[in-house]
Every structure is written in structure tokens, then in C-alpha cells.
Amino acid sequence: MNRSFITSVQDLQRNRTVKFTFRREGIPRDGFVASFENEIVAYENLCRHIPLTIDYGDNRFFASDGRHFVCQTHGAIYEPLTGLCVRGPCEGASLHKLKVEVSDGNVYLLGEDSSENRETDARPIPSGTPR
């Protein structure tokens, strides 16, 4: 099984989310890994309502309350630990979960090919920056 480095646990705990790209069936896709309630979860960065990135390119995944992920396009609210949409236009659907492993203080993506293109909440992405 492929295992690709995403970020260190220390960076993830400091920044709460890290974006990365990976390939599935040869197609580049966006993903993000998040730290929530001492758990580490990863999802494809794609809203279940309309196939747009949840963060809309600005690298913000958490709602202002810090308790949910929010799609910045249509306001869908997702539970961080399950990926389930609990409010909004795709209520009942779930984000596509990605398998990760924590080993030796690092977070690795399993079963997909990740790239080195990663960004954190601590470093805003200027608009117009290619992803």
C-alpha cells in the first residue's frame, strides 16, 4: 500500500488543517487533513452538494465556532470526525474519507499518491494562486 507524507503532527496541531494534493486513478485531487478533538481525519476537499472545494481555495475549513467544517460556497455544515453533512443542501451525505496513518510524529496518506503541494491555515493562500 502506498504511504505518502502529508505533514508533521506538530504542524497539524498548530494549524488545525493542512491541504495537499493526491492522485486517484491518475487524476489530481485536493485533500485536507484536520486535527479535531485529539483525532486526525482526512477527506477529499470536495463538497457533496456541488463538486467545488469546501474551502473555496482560501484554506479555511472550520466554521467560526471551530466545531464543524463548512463549505464556503453554499454553507453545508459537516461533522469533522465523520464527514457527515448535518445541515445544508447535502444533508445526510458524507465527505469522502481518506485513510491516514500517524507514525513517528508524522501524518501519512495511505493508498493514494500524494504530492508535495501542501499548505496550512497559518499561511493564507493569495487569490489567484494555482492549486
Domain at 3-120, CATH from 2.102.10.10, 2.40.50.100, 2.30.40.10, 1.10.3210.10: 2.102.10.10
For the chain, the structural domain boundaries read 3-120
pLDDT in tens, 9-52: 999 988 899 999 988 888 899 999 999 999 999 999 999 988 89
Q: Specify the pLDDT at position 86.
A: 97
Q: Measuring CA to CA, which residue among 124, 113, 128 is closest to residue 29?
A: 113
pLDDT in tens, 62-106: 999 999 999 999 899 999 999 999 999 999 999 999 999 999 999
Q: Specify the pLDDT at position 56.
A: 82
Q: Specify the pLDDT at position 126.
A: 29
Q: Average pLDDT for residues 94-123, to the nearest whole number?
A: 76
Q: Specify the pLDDT at position 75.
A: 92
17: exposed, middle or buried (Cβ count in 10 Å: 0-12, 13-18, 19+): buried
Q: Is the dihedral of CA 81, 65, 55, 86 positive or negative?
A: positive
Q: Specify the pLDDT at position 125.
A: 27
DSSP string, 17-51: EEEEEEEETTEEEEEEEEEETTEEEEEES--SSSS
Q: Specify the pLDDT at position 59.
A: 84
